[in-house]
Amino acid sequence: MKRTMESSRKIVGISSRCPQDQFQWMIDMLTSHLSELVSEVKYLPITNENSDEWKKEVKRYSIGILYHSLKHGRINITDVEGSLYDKELSYMSQCLDKENVMVVLDDLDHAKVEEKERILRTQPSIKDCSSLLLLIANKDKQSDFLSQIDAISQLLNRVKHQSSMGNFPAKNHGRSKQTHSSDDGASLESSRKNLKLDIPCSQKHSVGVFSRCAKINYKWLVVKLESKAFGSLVKEVHAVEISNDVSHFLSAVNNCTFAILYHSQNHGRLNIIGVPDSLYDRELKTLFQSFGKKKVIVVIDDLKDSSAEVKRNILHEQKSIEQFSQELLLFSETEKARINTSDTVYSKLEKLKQILETSCDFTENRAQPRMSPVAAECVSAQQLMLEDLKKEMSNQTQQIKDLKNGMSNQTQHIVDLKKEMSNKTQHIEDLKKEMSNQTQHIEDLKKEMSNQTQHIENLKKEMSNKTQHIEDLKKEMSNQTQHIENLKKEMSNKTQHIEDLKKEMSNQTQHIEDLKKEMSNKTQKTEELKKELPNQAQQIDKLNKEDFQQSQL
C-alpha cells in the first residue's frame, strides 16, 4: 500500500525567471500540506540562454507551475508588450497538457476575484494554456495558498487519475476535453444541449490541420479548435506535418473528416498553389478529392495585412485556392497579438464554425456498410497521386538521362579543370616563391627604412643643432651690427673731431705763419739791436766809467 501511494506522488517543476528564495514559501507549502500528492518540488530557472536545457527538464515532470512575482516586474506573463513567458507557457501547455499546468502570480496588492478576471481578460493565453491561475497577495501568502488548496488538490488528483489510466493513442486528442476542470466540463455539457443544429456527438468532425510549417506556428489554431467554443463541432484535432512521405499524408487524411491547409508567411512566400515553387499543389488537390470543397479551407497566418483587398489579390493570383477549398481565412500578426479580443478574429472564427456546421451534414454516409464517398474519394485521390508519381518518375528518368549526358560533359570539364588546376597550382607555387622573395625584399626595405629613419633622426638632431648655431650667429651678427653702428657713430664723431683739429691746425698754422712773420720781424729788430749793441756797450762802458769815476769822487 505504501509503495502504491509513493508511486502516485508527483514531482512538481516550478519554472520562473525569479530566484528560488522568492517562492521558497510555496515549495514548503506544497511539500508539507500536499505531501500525499507531491513527493518533490524542483526549481527550473528560465533565462534567455538556457531555453533548450529548460525544455528538456520540463518534460520530466508531471505538474508544471509557472511562477511570477510582482517584485520581478509588472504582470506581463503573456499576450502583452514585453511579456516574459509567451513561449514558455505555450511550451508547457503543449508538453504537459493544459490540465497539468498552473500559473502563480505572487506579491500582488490584493488577490480578489475581480483582479483575476481582469488578468484572464487581458492575458487570455493564461487560460488557454493552463487549468488554474493562483493569485497570492504580498501580505498573507500562506492564507491565500490554503484558501485555494482544494483547487490545487483537484489538479494533482486529476493528474493522478490520468496517469493511472495509461497513455492514450496519439490520435485521440479529444481526451483533453474529458480531463478539463469541472467548469469546463459543465460548459461543454451546456454547449451540447444548446447546439442549434442538435448534432449528435458521433457526427462531430475529426479536423486535420495540414502544413509544412512547424506545429508551434499553428498551436493557437489547434487550441481554439479544441476549446469549448468548438466543442459541439469538433471531436478531435490532428496536427499533420506535410513531408515527402506520401503514405503518412494519406494515412492522416483517412483519419480526418475535415481539412484545414495552414501556411505561415514566416515560412516563406505566399506560394500555396498554381504559382512557381508552390508548396501545396498536390496536397490541396488531394484534400479536395478526399473531402470535397465544402470540407476544406485554407488558412494563411502571420501576414502584415489581412484586409479584404489582400485576400482578393491572393485569390486572383492563385485561383485554385477558391476552386479546391470552401474558404480562405487570413490572420495578421496584429490580430494574433489580440487573438481573444479582436473583433475580426472573432468573425473569422465564427465563419469557420459556420463552415463546420454546414459540412457536418455530409458525414452521415460514413456510417453505411458500403464504401463511403469519402473513402472512395481517398482511393481516387491515391490513384491520382500514383498517376502523378508515375509522371514524375518518367520525368525524373528523363532528367537522369539528361544528367548522365551532362555528367559526361562535366567529367571532361572536370579533367580540363584538373589540368587548369594543376597549372594554377604551379602558378601558385611560383607566386609563393615570388612572394617569399618579395617578403625578403620587404624585410630588407624595412631594415633600410629603419636605417634611413635613424639617419633622418640624426639629420633632424644635426639640423636642430645648426638651427641653434644659426640663432647664435644671428644674435652675434646682431651684436656686431650694433657694434658697427656704434663704431660708425664713433668714427663720425672722430671725423668731426679731425675736422675740428684740421680747422684748429689751420688756425695754428696761420698763427705760426704770423709768429714766423713776427719772429722774422723780431729777428730783424734783433739784428738791428745787435748792430746797435756795440755802440750801446760802448756807451754803457762809458757810462759805467763815468759812474765809477763819480763814485770815486
C-alpha grid cell for residue 316? Answer: 486572383
Under a CB-based contact definition with an 8 Å cutoff, are residues 265 and 332 in contact?
Answer: no
Q: Quick check: do 2-164 and 179-367 share a fold? A: yes
Sequential DSSP letters for 107-133? EES---HHHHHHHHHH-THHHHH-SEE
To which H or E segment does residue 310 belong? Answer: helix 308-317
C-alpha grid cell for residue 4? Answer: 502504491
Packed helices 281-291 and 373-552: angle between N→C axes, nearest 10 degrees: 150
Question: For position 188, what pLDDT does the model report?
Answer: 32
β-partners of residue 391 are none
Tell whether domain 2-164 is in CATH 3.90.550.
no
Neighbours of 2 (CB within 10 A): 6
Q: In what order do the strands lie in the sheet with 63-69?
A: 38-45, 10-16, 63-69, 101-108, 132-137
Domain map (residue ranges) of the chain: 2-164, 179-367
Q: 12-25: string of b/e by CB count within 10 Å (b at 16+)?
A: bbbbbbbeeebbee
Question: For position 66, what pLDDT does the model report?
Answer: 93
Q: What are the pLDDT digits (tens) for 59-108?
A: 888 899 999 998 887 888 888 888 889 889 999 998 888 889 999 999 88
Q: Which residues of the chain have pLDDT under 70?
A: 1-8, 159-202, 361-389, 391-392
Alpha-carbon distance of 268 to 2, in angstroms, equals 56
Question: For position 166, what pLDDT does the model report?
Answer: 38
- Write the CB contacts of 508 (distance below 8 Å, at least 6 apart in sequence): none
Question: For position 293, what pLDDT does the model report?
Answer: 93
Q: What are the pLDDT digits (tens) for 173-218?
A: 333 333 333 334 333 333 333 333 333 434 789 999 999 999 999 9
Amino acid at residue number 233:
L
User: Model pTM greater than 0.85?
Assistant: no
Under a CB-based contact definition with an 8 Å cutoff, are residues 381 and 253 in contact?
Answer: yes
To which H or E segment does residue 467 belong? Answer: helix 373-552
Alpha-carbon distance of 12 to 65, in angstroms, equals 7
**How many H helices and E strands in the chain?**
18, 10
Please report which residue ranges of 123-204 form alpha helices under DSSP H.
125-129, 141-147, 149-164, 175-178, 182-193
C-alpha grid cell for residue 449? Answer: 627604412
Closest CA to 133 of 160, 151, 158: 151
Question: For position 115, what pLDDT does the model report?
Answer: 87
Closest CA to 15 of 95, 117, 127: 95
What CATH number does the domain located at 179-367 have?
3.40.50
